[in-house]
Amino acid sequence: MFYLGIDVGSLTAEAILLEGTRVVASATIAALANPLDSAQEVRGRVLGERGLGPVDVRYTISTGYGREAIQTEGIAQQNLSEISCHGYGAWCLQPRVRTVIDIGGQDAKAIRVDERGGLDRFAMNDKCAAGTGHFLEHMSRTLEVDLDELGPLALSARRPVRMTSRCTIFVETEVLHFLQRGRTRANIAAGVADAMAERVSALARRVHPVAEMTMTGGVAKNVAVRREVEKRLGLPLAHLRFDPQLVGAYGAARLAARKGVDRLAARQEVDR
Amino acid sequence: MSGPLISLGCDVGAAFTKLALLGPDRLLGSRVVRTTGRIADEIDGLVGALVAEAGVQPGDLAFVGATGSGGAQVRLADFYEDELTCVAAAVGYYLPDTELALQIGGQSICSVQVNGDGEVVSFGRNDKCAAGTGRFLEMMSKRLNEPLARLDDLAARAAQPRDVSSQCVVFAESEAISHINAGVPVPDIVAGICGSIGRIVASQGRRARDARLFTLTGGVARFRSVVRVVRRRLDLEYMPFPQDPQLAAALGAALLEADDAPTPASAPGPGPGTAPPDGEV
């Protein structure tokens, strides 16, 4: 039995194909202008990898940007919020997880899940770019350091700078001033990671984080931000051994698998 | 001291530095330049040129007042005062009945409640977030490759302003870019951004209690399309600031010391703007 999860974000779109509960294909593409096109394209990629067609998939769940339209167009049978999908996806990967911090390109969420991976409570910031992936992208551009290198560079800092602002725009100005004053990129990158971690931790505190805690989304790859969040919240971040950017699609696929199994059971019930 | 009282206010803001040379009853001259990293050195030259151009002898300059986030860099200054104290002084002088000033600067939005003596009664300041500040307009000016001064004329030509829904400047910028890519006319986008700024400023103004008349100061108050939205959204009567609103804090810095130590002969007389015409700035 094949199940599909599709997660269309503001910058990228991901799909995960499961056979039972095992991942058999995954794909990430740069998001297209229309989320429906993104969904179709990324679905084509994962199915093509296994030589399958849409009819071979028992159940598909969409999440993310345009998830309703993706269902309405018949690409998915159901749509669920990113919060449910990230929470469940992280829980499936590590069933002791109770707190999930998901940082996307344009928003950030702190999620508490129960012992079955269901949503307990959440807090979200989609109003302010500070504490989202956008913040790090801006700083990586201003510092002229690749996004992937920002974390390791920050860890090498010996005298991190301290940002006084929260706003992305104002921190960017601070970064420029620090560069003009000859501070090293490593020290500035550490200040950026610190400022980022402060916003993320403030959001996480709103759901009263408990162990185990983990992080999903692209920012989870930044080692310096991870370390600062751990320090501030006094909890270690569990490693999921899974691409953190695929957790939403994985959660959607696992929920699709659960739904497919439920429906099969229901049908067998009726048949009997 | 002899001769008419002449004073100078220097407002070193986040984006622009403003100088106002004030005579006994009128503005003798002004300068608005971008605040650079070398502004401390530039000010001396600017002051010299401004004073010379107005035909004022350097010895006739009674005092120099400094204000603004970079005001401490004005080496010529006899004193430094907070920007809001200065705005209140200017509003008290030019618009004595106006109880509320909304100051929209390059990096902050402030609301100041003012009494008839031009003193601050209470104030609110948002300098934590760029939303609604001049930074928003600067960003768009860069993005659209249009000079800041032209944005207001562009907005005036909008057929159908296209709203930006995000308050956050970073998110609003992405929205504006997708509007550009979708072929929305530039005037409609600029008008939408001015509308967004106006809404944020108005919500700051709505927190003021017991105000009947309000004015707008700071560089962004020069944008008619922002002013229009603030007026529409605030249930208060609008009093246009009778001088260039971007000069308000500099004017206040030039007025303050005179108020503190008035001599009957040298205290400033009623300004030209005490009975301002009603209408748009």
Dihedral angle at the C-alpha atoms of B249, B252, B254, B259, nearest 10 degrees?
Answer: -160
Q: Is A176 on the interface with B (CB under 8 A)?
A: no
Domain co-membership, A159 together with A235:
yes
Which of A10, A106, A124, A128 should be substituted to probe chain B, the one whose Cβ sees the most B Cβ atoms within 10 Å? A128
- pLDDT for residue B275 is more than 50: no
B156 pLDDT higher than 70: yes
Give the model's pLDDT for residue B57: 86
pLDDT of B276 strictly over 50: no
pLDDT at B105: 93
Average pLDDT of the residues of chain A? 94
Q: How far apart are the C-alpha atoms of A30 and A43, rounded to whole Å?
A: 13
- What's the token pair of residue B217? 């100061």
Other residues' Cβ atoms within 10 Å of the Cβ of residue B232:
13
Q: A59-63, A114-118, B58-62, B268-272: which range is least confident on average?
A: B268-272
Residue of A nearest to B168 (CA): A128
Q: Does domain B1-95+243-281 have CATH number 3.30.420.40?
A: yes
pLDDT at B258: 60
Together in a domain, A164 and A43:
no
Same domain, A54 and A155: no
B247, B64 Cβ separation under 8 angstroms: no
Rounded Cα–Cα distance for residues A120 and A99 (Å):
10
pLDDT number for residue B273? 34
Output the domain CATH number for residue A105: 3.30.420.40
Domain B1-95+243-281 matches domain B98-238 at the CATH topology level: yes
Best B39, B107, B128, B129 residue to mutate vs chain A (most A CBs within 10 Å):
B129
Q: How confident is the model at residue A271 (pLDDT cuts 50, 70, 90)?
A: low
Express as a percent the part of chain A with pLDDT over 90. 90
Indicate whether this complex's ipTM tops 0.90.
Answer: no
Write down the pLDDT at residue A262.
75
Q: Do A169 and B170 touch (CB under 8 A)?
A: yes
Question: What's residue A260's pLDDT?
Answer: 79
**Distance in angstroms (rounded) separating the CA atoms of residues B35 and B154:** 25
Residue B165, pLDDT > 70, answer: yes
- Determine how many CB atoms are found less than 10 A away from the CB of residue B23: 17
3-state SS assignment for residue A99 = strand
Q: What residues in B contact A166, CB-CB < 8 Å?
A: 128-129
Question: What pLDDT sits at residue B157?
Answer: 95
- Looking at residue B50, its pLDDT comes to 95
Q: What is the pLDDT of residues A130-166, one digit of tens each?
A: 999 999 999 999 999 999 999 999 999 999 999 999 9
First-to-last CA distance in chain A?
22
The reply to whether A27 and A109 lie within a common domain is no
One domain, residues A105 and A137: yes
Gap between the Cα atoms of A53 and A60, Å rounded:
13
Tally the domains of chain A. Answer: 2
Domain map of chain B by residue range? Answer: 1-95+243-281, 98-238
Residues spanned by the domain of A74: 1-94+246-272
Per-residue pLDDT at B54? 92
Which of B37, B107, B168 comes nearest A127 by C-beta? Answer: B168
Rounded distance, CA A242 to CA A224, Å? 19
Of the candidates A127, A129, A167, which has its C-beta nearest B128's C-beta?
A: A167
Cα–Cα dist A124/B91, whole Å? 41
pLDDT for res B4: 67
Q: Mean pLDDT across chain B, nearest whole number?
A: 88
Whether A108 and A235 map to the same domain: the answer is yes
Greater model confidence, B58 or A248: A248
Cβ within 8 Å, pair B130-A169: yes
A235 and A257 fall within a common domain = no
pLDDT > 90? residue A101:
yes
A48 and A150 together in one domain: no
Cα–Cα distance, A203 to A196 (Å, whole number): 11
- Tell which A residues from 137 to 156 touch B, by Cβ distance under 8 Å: 138
Q: Which CATH class is domain B98-238?
A: alpha beta
Nearest to A167 among B130, B139, B166 (CB): B130
pLDDT surpasses 60 at B162: yes
Higher pLDDT, B21 or B266: B21
Angstroms from A8 CA to nearest CA on chain B? 17
- Tell whether omega for the bond before A212 is within 30 degrees of 0, i.e. cis: yes
Is the CB of A106 inside 8 Å of chain B's CB atoms? Answer: yes
Name the amino acid, one letter, at A47. L
DSSP bridge partners of B100:
B113, B214
| Gap from B36 CA to chain A (nearest CA, Å) | 12
Residues A168 and A257 in one domain: no
Q: How far apart are CA A178 and CA A160, in angstroms?
A: 11
User: What are B171-216's pLDDT values in tens digits?
Assistant: 999 898 889 888 999 999 999 999 999 999 999 998 888 889 999 9
CB contact under 8 A, A170 and B171: no
